[in-house]
Structure 1
Amino acid sequence: MGEYVEANGTTIWTESRGEGPAVLLIAGLGDPAEAWQAQLDGLSDRYRVIAFDNRGAGQTPLPDGPMSVATMADDAAELLRGFRVDSAHVAGFSGGSAIAQELALRHPAAVRSLVLMGTWARADAYFTAMTRSWHWLVTEAPDERAMLEAFFLWIYSPRAHADGTVQRLIEESLAFPYPQSAAAFRRQLESFQQHDALDRLPGITAPTLVLAGEQDIATPPRLGRLVAGAIPGSCFEVLAGEAHQPLQESSDGFNARVHAFWHEVDGGTPPP
């Protein structure tokens, strides 16, 4: 069920369904809540699943004034309070994983556990050059289709390009009634480029699972390994054959893995 929630001085569009332990899903650069559709559909039989549009994405407006990962983390914390959720299992992918890191650092009581997919904690030279190229891509591509075709080269596996998944996602993006503006894309991107939590990650106390796609060229496993190494007691796994967003490409496997992790955190039997 979709609804607007007032949080942190803005109006945030949310999708919520199911009952059970609360799960907060945080999307990445340019992505609306619908990026988590396979999790909204596949996990709501066991969890109260909440997804939302970050500032400047989907149906959440882009407010005037400064924008930062910390601000978006505060948005998420107030959103949970708006839903009367004291603590949630938090999962974020890509830019959403940066927001999730800040949420765990700034609002530790709100985070029951943490799943970070396709993550990083400090930009290196490769990451900086890649994201700098995205700045001009969004404005200089001849049209939206061409922009998506180029951008999705960084996001999805060769398998997804070959089997029609990428083409389907492009058509869905072009048909989406709430497209993100180039200005909003660039402002979100600038926030994520400035994300630097590496020296603060040892302060995260929530149980943490860090996942990296073996074929992820946007946030390669080496970046996720640094994140996991800095968070005490975290678990790091490389997903064979996957790229930046297995939550969409291999949703059944992704859902099974995060469910096993959350089940264990909640006191269930750990997976083999």
Structure 2
Amino acid sequence: MGLHVKAGELEIWTEQVGDGPDVLLIGGLGDTVESWQFQLDGLADRYRMTAFDNRGAGRTAMPEGQPTVEAMADDAAAVLRGLDIPSAHVAGFSGGSIISQELALRHPELVRSLVLQSTWPAMDQYMKTLARSIHWQAELAPDERAFLEFFFLLVYTPRAHNSGMVSQIIDDVLAFPHQQSTGAFLKFLDAFVVHETGSRLGQISAPTLVLAGGVDPMSRPELGEDVARRIPGALFEVMPEESHQPFQEVPDEWNARVHAFWQQIRGGA
């Protein structure tokens, strides 16, 4: 069951399940609570899992003006404080991993550990060019299905496309009653194109696990490795056959890995 949490003038939609140490899940571009369903289902027997819709996605409105990653990190902090969570293991993917980095920099007392999936320190020229192509595809695609078919080529493996998994995801997105507008999607994307944390990552003190998909065409493994190299003591691992969102394609494997990481922290390793 979900509820809205107040963050300044913004009402952020949140959902919480399970019992145990607190985990905050932060989604990426246009993703809502539902993107984490395999984690909400698969880890709630061991953790209290909290997920939320970022500003401009799902049941959380997009305020006027251009959003910033700093504002979205403050949104995440407001969710934790609004739910009386003193600190949490924080896991974010793609744009959500950048929000997670910024959360750890701006509100370190709230972050017990970090899992950064498909992350980067700053968009390089390749990523910026790719972001521009996503921009015009979103504006010029003949319909939403056509855009999603293009966009998900960058997100899921050929395995997921050929098995019918991606087709089912597209059907679910199109049937979702709280769809993100194209304008909100592009404003969200633009926030990450100009954002950088690379020069500040050395300030992060939370234990960190950086995961990368070996065939991810967007946040390529070398970008994740760069993040891990900049955060003191961070672990870096590549899932060689996975793309941008392995927590959806191979959720059992992904859940087991992050659970092991969180258990190491609990044990003081």
TM-score (norm: length of structure 1): 0.97
Residue matched to 1:193: 193
Give the match's secondary structure for 2:209: strand
Q: Percent same amino acid among aligned pairs? A: 58
Residue matched to 2:110: 110
Shift, 1:9, TM fit: 2.5
Query: Aligned partners of 1:8, 1:50: CA distance in 2, in Å?
Result: 20
Residue matched to 1:50: 50
Shift, 1:7, TM fit: 1.4
Size of the alignment, in residue pairs? 269
Query: Aligned partners of 2:154, 2:148: CA distance in 1, in Å?
Result: 10
Say what the alpha-carbon RMSD is for the aligned residues.
0.9
Deviations 1:14-49 (A, max 9, x none): 110011100000000011110000001101111000
Residue matched to 1:183: 183
Query: Aligned partners of 1:73, 1:215: CA distance in 2, in Å?
Result: 28
4+ aligned runs moved over 4 Å, structure 1: none
Query: Aligned partners of 1:249, 1:8: CA distance in 2, in Å?
Result: 36
Residue matched to 1:73: 73
Residue matched to 1:161: 161
Residue matched to 1:127: 127
Give the match's secondary structure for 1:105: helix
Give the match's secondary structure for 2:155: coil
Residue matched to 1:38: 38
Query: Aligned partners of 1:194, 1:52: CA distance in 2, in Å?
Result: 24
Gap regions ≥5 residues in structure 1: none
Kept after mapping to 1: 8 A contact 2:66/2:187 = no
Query: Aligned partners of 1:68, 1:55: CA distance in 2, in Å?
Result: 10
Shift, 1:8, TM fit: 3.3
Residue matched to 1:251: 251
Correspondence 1:236 to 2:236: yes
Query: Aligned partners of 1:146, 1:262: CA distance in 2, in Å?
Result: 39
Query: Aligned partners of 1:199, 1:90: CA distance in 2, in Å?
Result: 21
TM-score (norm: length of structure 2): 0.98
Shift, 1:240, TM fit: 1.8
Kept after mapping to 2: 8 A contact 1:8/1:74 = no
Residue 107 of structure 1 aligns with an amino acid whose one-letter code is H
Kept after mapping to 1: 8 A contact 2:93/2:117 = yes
Deviations 1:193-252 (A, max 9, x none): 112000000000000000000010011101001000000000000002000000100000
Residue 100 of structure 1 aligns with an amino acid whose one-letter code is S
Residue matched to 1:173: 173
Residue matched to 2:22: 22
Residue matched to 2:5: 5
Q: Which piece of structure 1 moves more, 93-102 or 63-72? A: 63-72
Shift, 1:162, TM fit: 1.0
